[in-house]
Amino acid sequence: MVFLFLCDAERGAVFAKAFAEHLSDVRFSMEAASVAPDDVRYIMTWKPPEDLERYPNLDAVFCIGAGVDQFANASLPSKVKLIRMVDESITRMVVEYVMMAVLCLHRNLHVYIDQQRRHVWHEVIPQPQSADRRVSVLGMGVLGEAALSKLQGFGFKLSGWSRSQRSIDGVACFSGEDGLREMVANADILVCLLPLTPETTGILNKELFALLPLGASLVHAGRGRQLDCDALMSALDSGHLSGAFLDVVDPEPLNSDHPLWAHPKVVITPHIAAITQPASAAMTTIENLRLLHVGRNPVGLVDKAGLHRQ
């Protein structure tokens, strides 16, 4: 059986070494032309290949990243599993990004960066203490729960929202539409870590920003299509929102003349909150293959029916 790696050669070399050491009974290949299509049982990629019908014995497609919305319109046969990357390194990096962005907004770093550009020496006062700052997270899956856990160490008042009710010690948990409105209305820093679904597309919009308290700020590390950039611009320009950290936007990158690039209240990073680390991702993939080989579901198995509702 063949595992076909259709990503960059640099990470592929790391995967190849791991497969040779830990799963030698699976042939690892980075060249589609060098293997018989009938032998390909698994494919790893970022975007769905256009020629999946070439592989009649394909069992699973592995996404090298955590997000899989790019597969929404892919013609995956019903028998083919779709597996997203759920890896400790991705979780750790997203948590690092959330900590960085929340602390920067809490301590007004975006304001001081703008003042530095203008050669202004001015203290922003008063500076709220962390115990008086309300940080709320949209999405309490693996990433959201890990971020909330780390945020607890700073003493913030924490809350989280998910579609179904959750319970996390030290976190006020909300669910459903009413819970969303209640949590957002009491959020000083709102963090979005939601997956992209039909329900979350465009969720960061004019109506949601209006619910936020005056002076609130946003950290967006979910998916680009969840954010209405024009609505964010209006909320920032009106003074209703005081700042934003954006790791994802739509399109990526923004057009070069988009005003968000130069907005004094905005920090933009190029979708780097998490970057798949090949060594740990290779071992995660190998463990998932072992699960598949004994008839068990892999970690990160995607509900394709829900994906295709987008």
Residues 6+ apart with CB under 8 A from 246: 218, 220, 227, 260, 266, 267, 268, 269
Q: Is the pLDDT of residue 76 over 60?
A: yes
Straight-line distance from the first to the last Cα atom of the chain, in angstroms, rounded to the nearest whole number: 33
Q: Could you say which of 271, 293, 296, 309 is catalytic?
A: 271
Residue 287: phi and psi, rounded to 5, are -65, -35
Position 50 scores a pLDDT of: 86
For the chain, counts of helices (H) and of strands (E): 9, 12
Position 75 scores a pLDDT of: 81
d(CA 280, CA 174): 33
Confidence label for 156 from pLDDT (cuts 50, 70 and 90): very high
84: left (phi over 0), alpha (psi -120 to 50) or beta: beta
Position 145 scores a pLDDT of: 96
Query: Which pair of tokens denotes residue 279?
Result: 């060594």
Would residue 119 show up in a list of annotated catalytic residues for this protein? no
Q: Is the pLDDT of residue 309 over 50?
A: no
Tens digit of each residue's pLDDT (9 = 90 or more) over 240-284: 999 999 999 999 999 999 999 999 999 999 999 999 999 999 999
Tens digit of each residue's pLDDT (9 = 90 or more) over 176-193: 999 999 999 999 999 999
Position 238 scores a pLDDT of: 98
Q: Tokens 């998910």 — which residue?
A: 162
For each of the domains in the chain, give its residue range(s) and CATH number, in order of start.
2-87+276-307 (3.40.50.720), 89-268 (3.40.50.720)
Does the bond joining 49 to the residue before it have cis omega, within 30 degrees of 0?
A: no
Position 310 scores a pLDDT of: 36
pTM above 0.85, yes or no: yes
Spatial contact of 209 and 243, defined as CB atoms under 8 Å apart = no
Position 23 scores a pLDDT of: 97
Tens digit of each residue's pLDDT (9 = 90 or more) over 206-238: 999 999 999 999 999 999 999 999 999 999 999
Position 302 scores a pLDDT of: 93
- Average pLDDT value over all residues in the chain: 95
194: left (phi over 0), alpha (psi -120 to 50) or beta: beta
Tens digit of each residue's pLDDT (9 = 90 or more) over 11-48: 999 999 999 999 999 999 999 999 999 999 999 999 99
Tens digit of each residue's pLDDT (9 = 90 or more) over 127-150: 999 999 999 999 999 999 999 999
Q: What kind and span of H or E run contains 216?
A: strand 216-220
d(CA 193, CA 249): 13
Q: Could you say which of 220, 223, 225, 263 is catalytic?
A: 223
